[in-house]
Amino acid sequence: MAVLYKADPVRGAEWQRLLAAKAPDLPCFVWPEAGDPRAIRYLAVWTPPDRMLERFPNAEIVISVGAGVDQFDLSAIPAHIPVVRMLEPGIAEGMVEYVTLAVLALHRDLPAYLEDQRAERWSAIRLRPAASRRIGVLGLGQLGEACCRRLATLGFTVAGWSRSPKAIPGITCHAGAAALPGFLAATDILVCLLPLTAETKGFLHAGLFAQLAPGAGLVNAGRGPHLVQEDLLAALESGQISAAFLDVTDPEPLPSGHPFWHHPRILMTPHIASQTRPETAVDFVLEVIAAHKAGRPLPGLVDRSRGY
């Protein structure tokens, strides 16, 4: 019985070392090494290898090393093999830091001040209390909920939107398509933490921007294809969106000369909002394997019909 790790090889070496210490009976190979392919039972991957079952006929579980699984072709993974996504606490901690950074920067008008500095302009914008700034978070999963909770502790008025109803103390929770317009109309800074699915591709588009409070800020830390790029440029031009933090783009990186690179009201980061932390990721993988062996429900099991 062995684990195959297929993602960043530097982190793979860390996984190998950690697994050797925590589960000495469970060898870990870092792709393209795989030892005896018939011994590979658990694949921890960013994307599974082609012809996965031909290569690894005894594969039992595929675990995404990331929280998202949109990079998987789920139809290529046989239905009897469960697909699990990463639920280790480091991902949420990183995302909470990033979203807090972006929301505070938008709340405190950092993009405008950066522009002023470059233009040698000294001009104060009137401060607005956090309680009067309404933050709306799209997606109330492991990341959205953690971000909402932290933002609320900073004094913001926080709401979230998800597919199914939620109850989170101190957060106004909205659910379903019918609740979306009311949620958007009461949002000054919109944070996207949706998974990328057929339903959410292109979700951040002109029609949605138009429903936000005028001059709203945008944070996209979900996936690049959530955003319709030309609609963001138009919304920035009209002032309907005042500024945007983008941690994800489509493609990554954007080509040279793309208008986002030099846009004064766009702050881009290279998909670093959070990163899977090997120490806790390995614990999660061992938890999944133990649950599988014991016939218990698998944590992080992906619902293939929903795509997340």
Instruction: Please give the Cα distance from 1 to 25 (Å, whole number).
Output: 8
Calculate the dihedral angle through the C-alpha atoms of 159, 161, 164, 166, rounding to the nearest 10 degrees.
-10
Contact region with ligand OXD (CB under 6 A), list: 19-27, 62-70, 164-172, 282-290: 62-70
Question: What part of residues 226-255 is at the interface with ligand NDP (CB under 6 A)?
Answer: 247-248
Pick the closer one to ligand OXD by CB: 59 or 91: 91
Check residue 243 for interaction with ligand OXD (CB under 6 A). no
**Which residue lies nearest ligand OXD, judged by its C-beta?**
66
Spell out the residues 6+ positions from residue 279 whose beta carbon is closer than 8 angstroms to its own. Answer: 18, 90
Check residue 225 for interaction with ligand OXD (CB under 6 A). no
Helices 89-107/110-118 angle, 10° precision: 60
Contact region with ligand OXD (CB under 6 A), list: 66-74, 107-115, 208-216, 289-297: 66-74
Instruction: Please give the Cα distance from 88 to 66 (Å, whole number).
Output: 9
Taking CA 222 as the corner, what is the angle to CA 234 and CA 255, rounded to the nearest 5 degrees? Answer: 55
Site map for ligand NDP, 88-127, x if CB under 6 A?
A: ---x---x--------------------------------
Among 48, 111, 136, 139, binds ligand NDP (CB under 6 A): 139
Check residue 66 for interaction with ligand OXD (CB under 6 A). yes
Among 3, 28, 30, 67, binds ligand OXD (CB under 6 A): 67
Check residue 200 for interaction with ligand NDP (CB under 6 A). yes
CB atoms within 10 A of CB 172: 16
Distances (CA, A) of 123 to 114, 116, 217: 11, 7, 20
Q: Which residues are catalytic?
A: 223, 271
Check residue 194 for interaction with ligand NDP (CB under 6 A). yes
Helix (H) or strand (E) holding 229: helix 229-238
List, in sequence order, the alpha helices (H) in 23-167: 52-55, 89-107, 110-118, 142-153
Residues contributing to the site for ligand NDP (CB under 6 A): 66-68, 91, 95, 139-144, 162-164, 193-197, 199-200, 221-223, 247-248, 271, 273-274, 308
Residues contributing to the site for ligand OXD (CB under 6 A): 66-68, 91, 276
